[in-house]
Amino acid sequence: MEEVFELNSDTGKEFAKLICLNKDLRDKEFSECVFNKCDFSNANFSNTIFIDCKFINCNLSNIEITNCGLQDVKFENCKIIGVAFSKISSFLLAWSFFKCQINLCDFSKLEIKNTNFSECEIKETDFIQTNLTGANFSKSDLTGSKFESSILEKANFIGAKEFYIDPSRNRLKRARFSHPEVLLLLRSSEIEIEF
């Protein structure tokens, strides 16, 4: 039986199978907590702070995160749809995503250097004026995602697929790509390639 639970600030606790749909979870603080198989769809996390926390197999679709603080937070196998990450607090922002479904989200204007997005499905998501220096998108599906005026220097796109990145509109110095996917960088040039 899944647990319906009133979530309050806590430290060092594991929460499993919580159902927190449409919950008001504003102005709380969680440190060294693990959230496993929890459903936070449409919850409001505005002004809530997470430090050294993990979200594993959670549904975080359509959450509100205005001024939410995320410091050393890990997301693994999570469903994250329709989230405006551009509204979060950029103070001490540090996070990673592994094997997550990240669709219809917005990471615009964030300083998220060295962020891990490995083996994720990142579809129809905006990275506009985003600093992604050293970010890791390895083995991720980037179908329909938009990179515009972003810094992608030293970013890792090895094994990534379906990305559309215009080299004339983004900074790509020392970014890493694999063959044949690197040819996707030529899409904006409207040239034909024959093999």
* Strand boundaries in the chain, DSSP class E: 3-4, 10-11, 14-16, 18-19, 29-31, 34-36, 49-51, 54-56, 69-76, 79-81, 94-98, 101-103, 116-118, 121-123, 126-128, 146-148, 156-157, 176-177
Q: Which residues of 15-47 are buried (b: 16+ CB within 10 A; e: fewer)?
A: beebebeebebeeeebbebbbeebbbbbbbbbb
The CATH H-level superfamily of 107-195 is E3 ubiquitin-protein ligase SopA (2.160.20.80)
Spatial separation of the C-alpha atoms in residues 89 and 5, rounded to whole Å: 26
Q: How far is CA 113 from CA 11, 77, 117, in A?
A: 27, 21, 11
Identity of the amino acid at 195: F
Max CA pair span of the chain: 60
* Residue limits of CATH 2.160.20.80 in the chain: 1-100, 107-195
Q: What is the pLDDT of residues 128-167, one digit of tens each?
A: 999 999 999 999 999 999 999 999 999 999 999 998 999 8
Residue 82's pLDDT is what? 98
Q: Given this model, what pLDDT does residue 9 score? A: 81
Q: To the nearest whole percent, how much of the chain has pLDDT over 90? A: 79
- Our separate counts of H helices and E strands in the chain read 0, 18
Q: What is the CATH number of domain 1-100?
A: 2.160.20.80
State which residues of the chain have pLDDT below 70. 1-6, 183-184, 186-195
pLDDT of residue 116: 98
**Which residue type occupies 87?**
K
Q: Looking at residue 92, what is its pLDDT?
A: 77
